């Protein structure tokens, strides 16, 4: 079994470390150090591993480019592309976000409709007039305090369907540090 595979980016070689385990699906990960990992089930052959890595070559290059920009002060979520996520992984993402929604809805005394997790290009979340909540799947990859801010923000719309002073007071009541969280989110670019 291979433990490393090299892809080229112009003159630069990028080494992808291959780790085999009991997992069921193939996945890619860019570590905070900039190292690239390819996680594979033990049953995957070297040829299949290489094919998977090459299929996601552009994603790897984009992620590394984003990582380099992040090192220069620009942040990205580091989210795995939605097309690479298994149903189990999407369920895990939904469960984490829904858990925070249930927690805050209870203490805020508000109700909500359906929760939908999407790959939104420009929004972290939204709340419809019927109380249906949409959240960007990339929230899963952020620190919990930022996820909590977005959840409180959307649930506050259950009382105020606008961004009035009353709305912001409602947000502050349940999330006193919302200003800092809001600024931090503005510094993070959503992955495409």
- pLDDT tens, position by position, 167-179: 999 999 999 999 9
Q: Quote the pTM value.
A: 0.62
- Which domain covers residue 32, as residue numbers? 4-73
Identify the pLDDT of residue 96.
96
Is 79 part of a structural domain of the chain?
no
Residue 12: predicted pLDDT = 77
> Is residue 49 one of the residues assigned to a domain?
yes
Cα atoms in the Cβ-side hemisphere of radius 13 Å centred on 43:
4
**CATH number of the domain where residue 136 is located:** 3.30.2010.10
**pLDDT of res. 35:** 82
Residues 105 and 163 in one domain: yes
Same domain assignment for residues 68 and 90: no
Helical (H) or strand (E) element with 148 = helix 144-156
Q: What is the pLDDT of residues 112-151, one digit of tens each?
A: 999 999 988 789 999 999 999 999 999 998 989 999 999 9
Residue 78 belongs to some domain of the structure? no
The structural domain count of the chain equals: 2
């Amino acid at each position: 079994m291979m433990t490393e595979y090299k892809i080229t980016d112009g003159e630069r070689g990028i080494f992808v470390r291959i780790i085999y385990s009991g997992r069921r699906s193939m996945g890619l990960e860019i570590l905070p150090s900039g190292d690239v990992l390819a996680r594979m089930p033990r049953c995957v052959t070297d040829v299949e591993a290489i094919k998977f890595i090459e299929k996601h070559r552009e994603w790897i290059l984009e992620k590394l480019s984003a990582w380099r920009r992040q090192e220069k002060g620009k942040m990205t979520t580091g989210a795995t592309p939605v097309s690479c996520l298994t149903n189990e992984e999407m369920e895990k993402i939904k469960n984490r976000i829904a858990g925070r929604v249930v927690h805050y809805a209870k203490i805020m005394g508000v109700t909500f409709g359906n929760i939908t997790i999407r790959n939104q290009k420009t929004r972290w979340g939204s709340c419809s007039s019927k109380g249906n909540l949409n959240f960007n799947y990339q929230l899963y990859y952020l620190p919990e305090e930022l996820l909590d801010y977005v959840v409180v923000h959307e649930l506050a719309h259950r009382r105020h369907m606008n961004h009035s002073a009353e709305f912001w007071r409602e947000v502050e009541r349940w999330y006193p540090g919302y200003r800092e969280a809001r600024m931090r989110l503005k510094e993070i670019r959503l992955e495409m």
